[in-house]
Amino acid sequence: MRRFSALGFDSAGAAAAALPFGVNFSPRLTQARQDEGNRGVHMMQETDKTSPPAREVNQGVAPVTYGQGDRPPRGDYARARTDYTCEQQHDRYSLADHDTYRRLYVRQLQQLPGLACDEFISAVHLLGEPQQIPRFEELSDKLHKATGWQVVGVPGLIPEEAFFGLLAQRKFPVTDWIREPREFDYVVEPDIFHDLFGHVPLLFNPTFADYMQAYGVGGLKASKLDACELLARLYWYTVEFGLIQTPQGLRAYGAGLLSSAGELRHSVSAVGPRRVAFELDRLMRSRYRIDTFQATYFVIHNFQQLFDATEPDFTPVYLRVRETMKLSGEIEAGTVLAGEQEFLI
């Protein structure tokens, strides 16, 4: 059994009920203890690194489980190819599934003005009419023409190396199942709504699209350097929960915010969370929350800044950050350092 130590995903659906807020906001939750986000995903079996690349015939892969829970993984990993991708099987969605998607979409869409960044708002309609769960093939055609990205189906969370490998090929893994109606406000693992609505619109933006690929390439390197935990923080605080400064004020670009019923407004306009400038070393020292709204958000000025930060080889960055953490420790979520500027809302 191999342990993947770096993911932000958590486990234990049961813990959700114990949250003070009643419903959840974050697309992926939660563990009884707060701020243990880096504990991660376990593989039930070691990934077979010697196996040949994806074959035509689905033959199944080892499922991925989460955190400490005994809950079986939710998706059907038996359908997945060796690279963890699988067919979408669009005709298997029920009317209730399509209806859930539409209701989630409508609710999120109406929240976007003044909270989501313009790049997201101008691209979200490219997902197509919300009456039906989008077909991955159709969406891929559009996306490929725009930025060379595709969306590929996956049964759920996949191991880091498989995840990074897909991003490096400009393939975004999208979970193929949708939450149950009773999970409308809160779902433990990312589902198709989070993955599509949250992530795909910005993949139409060329600079952001390049950043995502660079992240995948960096992830493959980080796996070899045992640095996935540090790199996962970058994903968490940018791709999932990032804010951007615009002339009109702060806006969200992170998918975890954009697909969340409650955290979108909270991140942009609530008093309480700390909002500090994106700075790579500082970010990598920062722990994060998996079971409640974030206590810290990192603010960028533009997507080029993200790409530029990800471009250099991270080997010296990891060394430096580890050294700093040895001397000064990690930074707890919600902490602002002496002399650090906060963004005002």
Residues annotated as catalytic are 194, 199, 240, 259
Beta bridge partners of 342: 276
Q: Which is nearer to ligand HBI, 189 or 291 (CB)?
A: 189
Q: Which is nearer to ligand HBI, 47 or 250 (CB)?
A: 47
Q: Which is nearer to ligand HBI, 75 or 262 (CB)?
A: 75
Which distant-in-sequence residues (6+ apart) come within 8 Å of 110 by Cβ?
Answer: none
State the first-to-last Cα distance of the chain, in angstroms, to the nearest integer.
Answer: 46
* Cβ pair 69, 30 in contact under 8 A: no
- Could you give the 3-state DSSP secondary structure of residue 106? helix
Instruction: Give yes or no for residue 255 binding ligand HBI (CB under 6 A).
Output: no
**Contact letters (x/-) for ligand HBI, 126-165, by CB under 6 A?**
----------------------------x--xx-x--x--
Residues 178-207 that bind ligand HBI (CB under 6 A): 190
Q: Which is nearer to ligand HBI, 236 or 250 (CB)?
A: 236
* Cβ pair 228, 5 in contact under 8 A: yes
Which distant-in-sequence residues (6+ apart) come within 8 Å of 141 by Cβ?
Answer: none
- Dist. CA 228–CA 222, nearest whole Å: 5
- Burial bucket for residue 31 (CB in 10 Å: 0-12, 13-18, 19+): buried
Burial 75-90 (b: 16+ CB within 10 A, else e): bbbebbbbbbbbebee
Q: Which is nearer to ligand HBI, 235 or 318 (CB)?
A: 235
CB of 319 to ligand HBI, least distance (A): 20
Q: Which two tokens stand for residue 146?
A: 């725009």
Residues 203-242 that bind ligand HBI (CB under 6 A): 232, 235
Residue 173: contacted member of ligand HBI, Fe ion, none (CB under 5 to 8 Å, by partner type): ligand HBI
Residue 163: contacted member of Fe ion, ligand HBI, none (CB under 5 to 8 Å, by partner type): ligand HBI
Residue of this chain nearest to Fe ion (CB atom): 255
CB of 13 to ligand HBI, least distance (A): 17
Instruction: Give yes or no for residue 43 binding Fe ion (CB under 5 A).
Output: no
Q: Using CB under 5 A, pick the residue from 12, 86, 255, 295 that binds Fe ion.
A: 255
Question: What is the amino acid identity at position 247?
Answer: P
Residue 160: contacted member of Fe ion, ligand HBI, none (CB under 5 to 8 Å, by partner type): ligand HBI
- Dist. CA 161–CA 259, nearest whole Å: 25
Q: Which is nearer to ligand HBI, 7 or 151 (CB)?
A: 7
Instruction: Give yes or no for residue 173 binding ligand HBI (CB under 6 A).
Output: yes
Residue 196: contacted member of Fe ion, ligand HBI, none (CB under 5 to 8 Å, by partner type): none
CB of 4 to ligand HBI, least distance (A): 8
- Dist. CA 207–CA 298, nearest whole Å: 18
Residue 154: contacted member of Fe ion, ligand HBI, none (CB under 5 to 8 Å, by partner type): ligand HBI
Which distant-in-sequence residues (6+ apart) come within 8 Å of 16 by Cβ?
Answer: 24, 29, 30, 186, 188
Residue 108: contacted member of ligand HBI, Fe ion, none (CB under 5 to 8 Å, by partner type): none
- Dist. CA 323–CA 28, nearest whole Å: 31
Question: What is the amino acid identity at position 251?
Answer: R
CB of 158 to ligand HBI, least distance (A): 4
- Dist. CA 137–CA 275, nearest whole Å: 38
What's the chain's Rg over C-alpha atoms? Answer: 19
Which distant-in-sequence residues (6+ apart) come within 8 Å of 327 by Cβ?
Answer: none
Question: Which chain residues interact with ligand HBI by CB under 6 A?
Answer: 7, 154, 157-158, 160, 163, 173, 175, 190, 232, 235
Summarize as ranges the residues that interact with Fe ion (CB under 5 A): 255
